[in-house]
Structure 1
Amino acid sequence: MTRVAAIDCGTNSIRLLVADLPAAGGDAPLVDVVRRMEIVRLGQGVDRTGRLAPEAIERTRVALASYAAQIRELGATRVRMCATSATRDAANAGDFRAMVVETLGVEPEVVSGDEEARLSFTGAVRGLAAEPPYLVVDIGGGSTEFVVGESTVEGAISVDIGCVRMTERHLHSDPPTPAEVAAATGDITAAVDRALAAVPGREARTLVGLAGSVTTVAAIALGLSEYNPSRIHHAVVSYDAVAKVTGDLLAMTTAQRLEIPVMHPGRADVIVAGALVLRVIMERAGMPAVVASEHDILDGIAWSIQPTP
C-alpha cells in the first residue's frame, strides 16, 4: 500500500483525502484514512472582478495549513493538489500559487476543464454497480463538468454554471424572486444544452451526480436527520424528489435553509443554485433519477498519484 494525500481546491470548498492505495496494478479499492472539507469560498467575487479576494486567499491558507499538518502527521508520501475553476479564471492566480507553495510545500496544479472531468469520472465510476454508459456531472462552485463514458472518458466539457457563480450572477434576493430564478434557469438551460450537444449525455443510461450540491439535495430527499455519507453514497434519487427539494429550497430564506439538519453552514446561501443546476440537467438530459456519489474528483486525484508498476 502507498499512503497518498489528495487536495481538491474548488471555488467554494477545499477538501483533503488521505488514503492508502493498493500496489500498482492492483484492483483493490482505496482505503480512506481521513476525509475533510472546509468551505473557504475561494471564488468569492471572481465572476465579477476576475481576481481572487485577499480575504478568500487567507481563508484558504488557514485551512491548507491545517491540512498540511495532518498530512505530515499521517505520513503520506505523495501529495497532489489540484485547483479548479476559480484559479483558472483569476488574474492574480500567482498570489494563490505562492501561498500554496509556502504553506503546503508543493505546487498547486491548476487543471484544465478536461483534466478535471477525467479525474471526476475516475473517482465516481470506479466500483459503481450501475448500468453504463454514464453521464457524470460534477456541480462545483464555479463550473459544472459533464463527462460521458463507460470505463473510460468518451467525451467531456466544462461549463461556467457553478452554484457560487450562478448565485452571485442572478440570485440576489433572500429568497430569490421569480424573475431572478427565471434568469438563472435560462442561463443554466443554455449552458446545459450546449454541454449535451458537445457530449452524448442523452445517450447515457445512468446519471451520476457529484459534489456538495448533489449530495445535500440527496440527503434532504432521503429525510436524513444528520449528514451521513454512507447513506448518501450511491443513493438513487428520482427527478420528482429533486424537483420537490429544489422548489422547497427556492421558497426558503438562507436562515431557514440553515435549519435543515444536513445543511452545511457554508452551503446554505448557494444550495438553491446548485439544486437548480441539477434539476435542469435531469430535465434536459431526460434522466428519471440521479445516483448521488460521495466519490468524485478527490478520489480521482488520489488514484492519479498511484505509483506506476
Structure 2
Amino acid sequence: MTRVAAIDCGTNTIRLLIADARYDDGRLGLEPVARRNEIVRLGQGVDRTGRLDPAALERTLAVVEDYAADCRAHGAQQRRFVATSATRDADNREEFIAGVRAALGVDPEVITGQEEARLSFAGSLLGVGGNAERLVVDLGGGSTELVLGTGEPRAAISLDVGSVRITERHLAGGVTPDAEAAARAEVRALLDEAADAVDLSAPERIVGLAGTVTTVTAHALGLEAFEPEAIDGAELSAEQVAASCRAILHSTPAQRESWGYLAPGRRDVIAAGALVWQEVVERVAAETSAAGRPLRGVITSLHDILDGIALSLIEDAPAIEGAPARP
C-alpha cells in the first residue's frame, strides 16, 4: 500500500494530507490517514512588498516542522510540498525553500498557476465526478484558478485575485462604498481576461473549492459550526450564493466572531473572499443564461488541490478520470 503526504502552502493557509491509495472498481482514490489545516498568512504583505515577511516565514516554517513530525509518525513513504501564489510572487522565496528542505527533506515546488489549476481539478473529481461540464473554481488567498472540463481540464486560467490580495489592496480599512466599488472593478476586469481563456458560458455547474467557498456555503446552509458532511457536495443556486456573499461582505466583526464555521484567521479576509466569489458566480450565471444554458447549480467540494497533490504522488493517478458521480 502506498502512503503519501501532500502539503499545500498557499497565501493564507498551509495544509497537510496523509493518505493511502485506495481502489474502488479499479479507480484510484484516497483513504485519509491524517489531515491538518493551519492559517499562517504566509502571503502577509507580499502583494505590496514583493517579499515574504520574516514573521510570516517563522510562523509557516514552525508548522512545516510539525507536519514533518506527522509524516514521520505516520510513515508517509512519499512527500510533496507545493507552494502557490504568495511564494511565486516573493523575491526572497529561496529562504523559504531552504527552510522547507531542511525540515521536510524534500524540495518544495513553487508551481505555476496552470499547474495549480490542474491539481485542483484533479482533486475535485474525487468529490464531484460525472460527465457534466463543470467550472472548477479554487478561490485562495492570493490567486483564483478557473478550470473548465469534465473528466479532465480543457481550459484553465490562474488570476491574481484572492481574499488576502483584495483585502490588502482595497478593504484593509473596511468595506466602504468606494472600497467595495474599487474591489469589484478589479475582479470584473480580471474576469474579462479570464473569459478570453475559459468559456464562462459553457459549464452546467460550478464546483467551488477552498476556505472562502466553504464559509459562504456554511452561511447559506445556516450552520452553527463547520460540518464537513453538510458542506461537502452541498448544491446551492447562484442566488443563494450571492445572497450569503452580500451578507458576509457587509457583516460586523461581532457577527463574524459568532460564526462557528469561520476560523479566527479568516475573519479579516472573508469579506474580500465573499466579494470575489459573488463576482465569479454571478458572472458565470449571466454568461450561461445569455447562452440559453442556465447554470444548474453551485457545488461545494472539500476535495481540492490537496487531494490532487496526493494523487500526483501515486504512479497511476490518471485513473481518476471518469470517477463516479456523487450520488
Aligned to 1:37: 37
Relative to structure 1, is the Cα distance of residues 127 and 243 closer, same or farther in structure 2, using a 3 angstrom cutoff?
A: closer
Following the alignment from structure 1 to structure 2, what is the Cα–Cα distance between the partners of residues 125 and 308?
Answer: 15
Deviation at 1:200, TM superposition (A): 1.6
| Partner of residue 292 from structure 1, selected from 289, 297, 300 | 300
Structure 1: tracts of 5 or more residues without a match: none
Structure 2: tracts of 5 or more residues without a match: 286-294, 318-327
Deviation at 1:201, TM superposition (A): 2.7
- 1:64-97 Cα offsets, whole Å, 9 max, x none, are 1111111100011000010000010000010110
* 1:2–1:77 contact (8 Å) kept in structure 2: yes
Runs of 4+ in 1 over 4 A off after TM superposition: none
Structure 1 stretch displaced more, 104-113 or 127-136: 127-136
Aligned to 1:61: 61
Query: Which residue type is aligned with residue 47 of structure 2?
Result: D
* 1:196–1:285 contact (8 Å) kept in structure 2: no
Following the alignment from structure 1 to structure 2, what is the Cα–Cα distance between the partners of residues 184 and 130?
Answer: 35
Following the alignment from structure 1 to structure 2, what is the Cα–Cα distance between the partners of residues 171 and 130?
Answer: 38
Following the alignment from structure 2 to structure 1, what is the Cα–Cα distance between the partners of residues 313 and 280?
Answer: 31
Following the alignment from structure 2 to structure 1, what is the Cα–Cα distance between the partners of residues 253 and 131?
Answer: 37
Query: Which residue type is aligned with residue 289 of structure 1?
Result: G
- 1:140-159 Cα offsets, whole Å, 9 max, x none, are 00000010111111011101
Aligned to 1:211: 210
Deviation at 1:196, TM superposition (A): 2.1
Deviation at 1:131, TM superposition (A): 5.2
Query: Which residue type is aligned with residue 228 of structure 1?
Result: E
Superposed CA RMSD in Å reads 1.7
- TM-score for both structures, normalised by structure 2: 0.90
Aligned to 2:146: 146
Counting only pairs closer than 5 Å after superposition, residues 6-25 of structure 1 correspond to structure 2 as 6-22=6-22
Deviation at 1:10, TM superposition (A): 0.2
Following the alignment from structure 1 to structure 2, what is the Cα–Cα distance between the partners of residues 294 and 162?
Answer: 18
The reply to whether residue 119 of structure 1 matches residue 119 of structure 2 is yes
Following the alignment from structure 1 to structure 2, what is the Cα–Cα distance between the partners of residues 227 and 84?
Answer: 25
Deviation at 1:204, TM superposition (A): 1.1
Aligned to 1:80: 80
Query: Which residue type is aligned with residue 95 of structure 1?
Result: E
**SS at structure 1 position matched to 2:266:** coil
Relative to structure 1, is the Cα distance of residues 131 and 205 closer, same or farther in structure 2, using a 3 angstrom cutoff?
A: farther
Deviation at 1:220, TM superposition (A): 1.0
Query: Which residue type is aligned with residue 113 of structure 2?
Result: G
**SS at structure 1 position matched to 2:11:** coil
Aligned to 1:70: 70
Following the alignment from structure 2 to structure 1, what is the Cα–Cα distance between the partners of residues 207 and 171?
Answer: 26
Structure 1 stretch displaced more, 195-204 or 95-104: 195-204
Aligned to 2:290: none
Deviation at 1:130, TM superposition (A): 5.1
Structure 1 stretch displaced more, 193-202 or 132-141: 193-202
Percent of aligned pairs sharing the same letter: 52
Following the alignment from structure 1 to structure 2, what is the Cα–Cα distance between the partners of residues 130 and 242?
Answer: 23
* 1:282–1:288 contact (8 Å) kept in structure 2: no
Query: Which residue type is aligned with residue 219 of structure 1?
Result: A
Query: Which residue type is aligned with residue 51 of structure 2?
Result: R
Aligned to 2:324: none
Aligned to 1:132: 132
Query: Which residue type is aligned with residue 208 of structure 1?
Result: V
Following the alignment from structure 1 to structure 2, what is the Cα–Cα distance between the partners of residues 70 and 2?
Answer: 16
* 2:204–2:297 contact (8 Å) kept in structure 1: no
* 2:4–2:310 contact (8 Å) kept in structure 1: yes
Aligned to 1:167: 167
* 1:131–1:205 contact (8 Å) kept in structure 2: no
Query: Which residue type is aligned with residue 15 of structure 1?
Result: R
**SS at structure 2 position matched to 1:29:** strand
